[in-house]
Structure 1
Amino acid sequence: MFHPTMLLRRLWPLCLLLLAAFAPAQEPEAGFSFGVVPQRTAIDLARSWVPVLDYLGAKTGYRFEFRTARDADAFEQRLDTGEFDLVYMNPYQYILHHAKHGYRVYAKEKDRLLTGLIVVRVDSPYREVRELDGKTLAFPAASAFAASLLPRAYLSRMGIAYTPAYVASHDSVYIGVSKNLFIAGGGVHQTLNNLAPEIRKQLRVVWVSPPVTPHALAAHPRV
């Protein structure tokens, strides 16, 4: 199972090199804001990422402040202002905010690619994506890359009509499908595998995207 601590420990030499190379505009004790795209609930994200940031702080002497948002749209608004010094974001967000603010990638997970999914309830009669034609499908947000943009592009390319419902996070998609609030929804392997077992066992994958580049750890030019 993916865990951010394992990711950043593998990438630690690169992170240390770049943190040393780019002196912050503010005094070190002021620290860095570290934004994390809200694929899961804020509590779950904090549980995973705060130990990582504490680890980085202990290694560098800098303070890293964990930040996220209540949902993907709110996170996008904060990205749009260039709020975060450092940020973990999806490839689509990186393209947009590299162009707008000059964010640049300084690390990504080695030897791991990202795949989008469409899931249904395990007891659902739907076995193929084409059977979802005309249904309302749940997605985390319009800008969620592998969990929304990739499956929606595939559905459109195949001529499958659907109504999107944006429900704020990957966890909300999975819970909504497991509770029969939605016929199906989009996600990614990482967040699906991180689900509580009692929810995960209620879901079945009916479509997987081709693999794409993973989320990036990026820095604002002021860093």
Structure 2
Amino acid sequence: MNLHDLLRRIGLWLAAAFLCTPVLAQEAGVYRFSPVNQYGINLTAAYWNPIIGYVSEKSGVKLQLKIGRTSADTTAFVLAQEVEFVFSNHLFSPEREQLGWRVFGRRQTPAVHAQIVVPADSPITDLAALAGKEVVFPGPEALVSYKFTAAHLMARQVEFKTVFGGNTDGALAQLYSGKAAAAGVNSQLVEGYARREDKKYRVLWSSPPVHDLALMASAKVPEKVRQAVIQAFVGMHQDPKGRDILQQASVHVGLTAAAHFMASDGSEYSAYRDFYRTAPASLR
């Protein structure tokens, strides 16, 4: 068994275990961390578990992964206040900003774009050709991959049929199996998927650049705990042990080995907030 397969199996086992995390975990001194399911559940767990293991050890704050079977399920945990830390861009609508989540960091990666893509050998060459066809998205909560791309299709008056794949990997699997004519994606994630699965694609539309997802803490997290977690995330790439963990995890999911976490006050996410001012009502 090679390392890639082993990590996938470990990720699947750990993900299954964390799906059963008790709601009262924090009462035992555990803080739950819910990253949006950008990949399949096993790959999501395989990426994040080494990282939060390091952050837990370095900060002295025990973090535990809590993810649902889909990105929408994971966000439901967040909205139900069942977690204390997140990696997400699902909390920038005016209503959700009232919940008190505070941005404290982000992942330092190249800017991402919302994109509408088709397989490289698809006969479809423009958005108008998607009229009446199925377009697959990761899920209804996916801001960049779904809401940005669907809003653009609506603005172009392209009447399409919406399909959800649960996460980006699921959506792209449907695209390449021929179940959908096109996919709404995050450029970073489709690039990673294409490298891992040896797939080719063509971009029909790409949005202006936006930042990667945000690390956020619930308003109920004590300031001392929040600061310890911030320092562990932000300093991870400067510590040889942390840097090695980051590099291995990043390469595993198709990110560059230079990807790391940096501090943020949330001001970089104005494009996400601006979206809701003009978005169709069905996408707010």
- Aligned equivalent of 1:126, options 124, 127, 136: 124
Question: 2:109·2:212 contact (CA, 8 Å) conserved in 1?
Answer: no
Question: Which position in structure 2 is the counterpart of 1:116?
Answer: 114
Bigger mean CA deviation after superposition, 184-193 or 201-210: 201-210
Q: Residues of 2 paired with 1:201 and 1:178: CA distance?
A: 9
Cα shift at 1:193: 2.2
2:78 maps to amino acid: L
2:53 maps to amino acid: D
Identical-residue share of aligned pairs (%): 25
Per the normalisation by structure 2, the TM-score is: 0.64
Question: Which position in structure 1 is the counterpart of 2:189?
Answer: 191
- Cα–Cα, structure 1 residues 124 and 43, in superposed 2: closer, same or farther, change >3 Å? same
Question: 1:121·1:178 contact (CA, 8 Å) conserved in 2?
Answer: yes
Map 1:33-52 to 2 at 5 A. Answer: 33-52=32-51
Q: Report the number of matched residues.
A: 195
Q: Whose helix fraction is larger, Structure 1's or Structure 2's? A: 2
Bigger mean CA deviation after superposition, 211-220 or 149-158: 211-220
Q: Which secondary structure does the structure 2 equivalent of 1:102 belong to?
A: coil
Q: Residues of 1 paired with 2:82 and 2:63: CA distance?
A: 14
Cα shift at 1:68: 1.1
Cα shift at 1:84: 1.2
1:85 maps to amino acid: E
Q: Residues of 2 paired with 1:112 and 1:197: CA distance?
A: 16
How big is each residue's C-alpha offset from its partner over 1:190-223, in whole Å with a ceiling of 9 and x where there is no partner? 2112226463424322221111233111000111
Cα shift at 1:182: 0.7
- Structure 1 position 158 matched with structure 2 position 156: yes
Q: Residues of 2 paired with 1:122 and 1:179: CA distance?
A: 13
- Structure 1 position 32 matched with structure 2 position 31: yes
Bigger mean CA deviation after superposition, 156-165 or 196-205: 196-205
How big is each residue's C-alpha offset from its partner over 1:9-53, in whole Å with a ceiling of 9 and x where there is no partner? xxxxxxxxxxxxxxxxx68x7131100111211110111111111
Per the normalisation by structure 1, the TM-score is: 0.80
- Structure 1 position 172 matched with structure 2 position 170: yes
Question: 2:194·2:200 contact (CA, 8 Å) conserved in 1?
Answer: no
1:175 maps to amino acid: A
Question: Which position in structure 1 is the counterpart of 2:262?
Answer: none
Map 1:62-101 to 2 at 5 A. Answer: 62-90=61-89, 92-95=90-93, 96-99=95-98, 101=99
Q: Which secondary structure does the structure 2 equivalent of 1:54 belong to?
A: helix
Question: Which position in structure 2 is the counterpart of 1:8?
Answer: none
Q: Name the Cα RMSD after superposition.
A: 1.9
1:182 maps to amino acid: A
Listed as ranges, the gaps of 5+ residues in structure 2 are 1-25, 222-284
Question: Which position in structure 1 is the counterpart of 2:141?
Answer: 143
Question: Which position in structure 2 is the counterpart of 1:104?
Answer: 102
How big is each residue's C-alpha offset from its partner over 1:140-163, in whole Å with a ceiling of 9 and x where there is no partner? 112211100111111111111111
- Structure 1 position 218 matched with structure 2 position 185: no
Q: Residues of 2 paired with 1:41 and 1:132: CA distance?
A: 26
Cα shift at 1:184: 0.6
Listed as ranges, the gaps of 5+ residues in structure 1 are 1-25
Q: Residues of 2 paired with 1:112 and 1:184: CA distance?
A: 24
Question: Which position in structure 2 is the counterpart of 1:20?
Answer: none
Question: 2:115·2:145 contact (CA, 8 Å) conserved in 1?
Answer: yes
Higher-RCO chain (CA-CA 8 Å, sequence separation at least 6): 1
- Cα–Cα, structure 1 residues 119 and 200, in superposed 2: closer, same or farther, change >3 Å? farther
- Cα–Cα, structure 1 residues 153 and 200, in superposed 2: closer, same or farther, change >3 Å? farther
Cα shift at 1:76: 2.6
Q: Residues of 2 paired with 1:54 and 1:65: CA distance?
A: 8
Question: 1:120·1:183 contact (CA, 8 Å) conserved in 2?
Answer: yes
Q: Residues of 2 paired with 1:198 and 1:34: CA distance?
A: 26
